[in-house]
Structure 1
Amino acid sequence: MEFEKVGSEVARRAKGLKMNVIAHDPYAPVNRVCAVGVKLVSFDMAIAAADFISLHMLLTATTKKIFNDATFAKMKKGVRIINVARGGVIDEDALVKALDAGAVVQAALDVFAENPPPRDNMLVKHETRSGDVSFGSQHKRGTGGCGN
């Protein structure tokens, strides 16, 4: 989800691993996406077809909690989610439910709705969550490419 700097680089690396890569980004130039060998699809098609969903979008009024109960219900059972975008794009309560139900089998999160997350955050404690709150973009070298 998103095909700018980070999203396009993740796609290139996934292609290098012989993965079938699709992308959703309503603003991405089709020729740039096709040059990498990636097919642009609708949001609903992307979430329904993907085994791995890697998030790289900005947090806007449109993307806030775009991954919610309804979105998780449309996903392929057993999906893995990687969020290196913004914590607010995922409804954390909905993600916990999806993890508990086995709809999402793993969530690799670098960001949370509240950073750092409180100790009692269910995602921090969840056995199927991977990752650490590293805040790589908060490093002085990382802030230059951040949109918000």
Structure 2
Amino acid sequence: MFKPRNAETIGNVISRLWIFIFFTLVYRDIHEMAVASTIEDILVGTYEGNPVTDAGLVAGGVVMIILLATYVLTPILKPNLARRLNLFTPPIAVVGVFYLIPNDPDDFVLATATAVALLTIFIISLFWQTEQSMSQVNEVRHGV
């Protein structure tokens, strides 16, 4: 179902999906900043009824750095490490995407697109056959 043309390009495909997710999140933030009520809420110290704190802003920045690091590391790490990284990161990222439930239709569409891309990354990584996983399968089959 989610099979790239050859095994060598899986890291590049996943990396492109990460950049799609990053741009979607940035576009969602820019889109919200264009609304005057959003800026007023942030100046007051809240966003959609939740307090805006320094810790929350730092946590959001750390998550974005993790997403960008995953984008950069996926094509350059060994396939087994890249596979593990891409199995670990999407579940955490999807929690961040839906931490604040989207209340506008456009936010819901962007959050859904992000969630679908994260699910696609997870599924591709789940079925990613690395050399190490292939050798483990062969050991089980041959009883070595």
What's the TM-score once normalised by structure 1's chain length?
0.23
What's the TM-score once normalised by structure 2's chain length?
0.24
Q: Which has the higher helix share?
A: 2
Identify the structure with bigger relative contact order (alpha carbons < 8 Å, sequence gap 6+). Answer: 2
CA radius of gyration, larger in: 2
